[in-house]
Chain A
């Protein structure tokens, strides 16, 4: 455990950085091209990747806050990984700008004529109108950035002096963050995804997006943690016991997602009210049928089987494979939520979709590399660190 205090900052290998730059540049170029080729489809893809980035950024901040509030020790050595990923929250308003200018392509309720001819949309117009939408979006982004700023700053400052007051402050901030998180993530999910189909509603929708968000944040953190540890970026002394909780949480939240998704489906299927079932019926048109059935396999059965056994939760290779799969599953989930509003007859997947995904991955890699250059990878001043390195199941 003395190795911890001898920790020195290492930078991400330049090869990875180059990959990040290449992906981002290629992706962005292709994405901009896509806007000229098919404006609406590109806007939808921008929205899809926007929600994906929010998942990872906001979800990572949630994980950081969860560790502070719950007092967990096993995650302290690699809490910085989630802190770095939370920096994505700074990107969120940037990506929102082109979205704000293209609300017309996405949202039916932003069209004046549509609202005038539709009684339901009129009823919702005090909430679903462009100006209020933009304002509350900006407010929510600002709230997220403020919490990230203060929590990460406290954590960073603690590296220099190890004072426990920073931990206490972050615990308080994290505790306040939790209810704020609950409401803002629900609001974001309702605004950006649920209102794509403005006639439909589901009270569990915020929780649904939350379950996918936590999975995305856990999965991205796990991939990075395992890669870092296996390549000796993290302190010597971390053992498979530290991995176990990551695997267990991935498994648990896979179950949680399935539970929420199934509840939503079962209740709407059972009551059979047309005002609710049409949303699922839309996802049964043409090739969407395959995607709808596939989500059970992709998002539940495979991760469940892959992470069921005790050894699998601790095995680095298995964790990387399953985490990558779960990230793919989350993209698949968002795709299934968002894209049927664009292409009603069936699935459309081509270079445009791939372009945006590449850009997203590139952006994440570059951001992470940047944070790694500027900050310690391990919170060396954290009072829980010694206990964390000694942690055994």
Chain B
């Protein structure tokens, strides 16, 4: 014998179901419910239901959402990764309002709905005794129903049937539990659900493993770790000699470079090349700096060869000798450009202007080392 769940009564006018609800409250039933295909105005008052607290739930969740969004953006923009973007301050409150608003609405709406469904309604529940009954089919479509549950303290089958007849219920019937509905275990522990959780867990782990260990190494998901470009000193099979680094094409001239026409022609250099710079303070200062950098290791600070090298390298002849003094600026320039004997060319370390300033400085040194009474 199946267990009795409730006795139901059906009505076909909205006014009747309102009266039925009022009567049920008056008679003292507490474990009862009303089913209608759509919400009927005034039913909440007729059943004396307390007002819904969902509004407060939404308010609290919304405020929490707003606070969370603002805190997160504050933390990210001020502590974790501060960046100056468009000259705006690190915590630009007006610019953060749109996102805060959206997060508030999103969290309040979605979470309140979930709370309503899972907590207030305790749905999903497809094993309720009312499902698949004639009663349910009618109230889903075009009739209004009320039922008194068997575990109401005032329940007595005969009395309830009488009560329903008194209020002119059109159809009165009994609803029994189906066997599988007599489920007292909490739905969360049902085997189907546990298996579902395990399957979801396995699937999720597999996906995560695949993405982080495999996918991230496949182009284009590998974030251009492997690129077709050539890195210096790499092997490169494109060229026959397998070198990735190539010489420039013959005849390539470096920027700012001018060919030097007097490479083996010191006399010509001395005769033709003229110092384009004036001996100004700035030029001499520059010349001093460059001379001290490049020339002083061998020639010494005063041009006389007493250098920091202390003879570990052949001592060059003094720059302050009469011979050098008699040289033209172009002749000195040539030595710097082309080198002489053991001195290498310094054309790569200096620009043209710098070389001329060095020449001017040498002139100054010569004068200082051979100072006459009038200097």
Contacts and interface: CB of A to CB of B under 8 A. Distances in A.
Q: Do chains A and B touch in the complex (CB under 8 A)?
A: yes
Contacts of A265: 94
A36 interface: no
Contacts of A308: 59
Given A309-B55, A310-B55, A266 B87 contact: no
Contact of A262 (B59, B86, B87, B97): B97
Interface in A278-308: 308
A270 B87 contact: no
Interface in B115-154: none
B55 A270 contact: no
Nearest to B56: A309
Contacts of A272: 86-87
B73 to A, nearest CB: 16
Q: Which label, helix, strand, loop or mixed, suits the secondary structure of the B interface?
A: helix
Interface residues of A, number: 10
A377 B55 CA distance: 37
Nearest to B41: A392
A219 B41 CA distance: 30
B95 A270 contact: yes
A266 B94 contact: yes
Q: Which label, helix, strand, loop or mixed, suits the secondary structure of the A interface?
A: helix
A266 to B, nearest CB: 5
A269 interface: yes
Contact of B94 (A269, A309, A310, A392): A269
A205 to B, nearest CB: 19
A266 B97 contact: yes
Nearest to A262: B97
Nearest to A392: B41
Contacts of B94: 262, 265-266, 269-270
A259 to B, nearest CB: 10
Contacts of B97: 262, 266
Contacts of A269: 94
B9 to A, nearest CB: 27
A242 to B, nearest CB: 16
Contacts of A392: 41
Nearest to A265: B94
Interface string A243-265: 00000000000000000001001
Interface in A170-209: none
A310 B52 CA distance: 12
Nearest to A266: B94
B95 A266 contact: yes
B43 to A, nearest CB: 14
Contacts of B55: 309-310
A131 B95 CA distance: 43
Interface string B90-110: 000011010000000000000
B41 to A, nearest CB: 8
Interface string A203-243: 00000000000000000000000000000000000000000
Contacts of B86: 272
Interface string A300-324: 0000000011100000000000000
A308 to B, nearest CB: 8
Interface string B37-68: 00001000000000000010001000000000
B345 to A, nearest CB: 56
A262 B95 CA distance: 11
A318 to B, nearest CB: 16
Nearest to B87: A272
A270 B92 CA distance: 10
Nearest to B95: A270
A48 to B, nearest CB: 27
A95 to B, nearest CB: 37
A392 to B, nearest CB: 8
B322 to A, nearest CB: 70
A3 B86 CA distance: 67
B14 to A, nearest CB: 14
A350 B86 CA distance: 42
A293 B41 CA distance: 45
A244 to B, nearest CB: 14
A266 B93 CA distance: 10
Nearest to A311: B51
A265 B97 CA distance: 12
A269 B95 CA distance: 9
Nearest to A308: B59
A304 B55 CA distance: 15
Given A262-B97, A272-B86, 4 more contacts: A262-B94, A266-B97, A270-B94, A392-B41
For the complex of A and B, 5 pairs with smallest distance between CB atoms: A266-B94, A269-B94, A270-B95, A265-B94, A262-B97
6 contacts: A265-B94, A266-B94, A266-B95, A308-B59, A309-B55, A310-B55
Interface of B: 41, 55, 59, 86-87, 94-95, 97
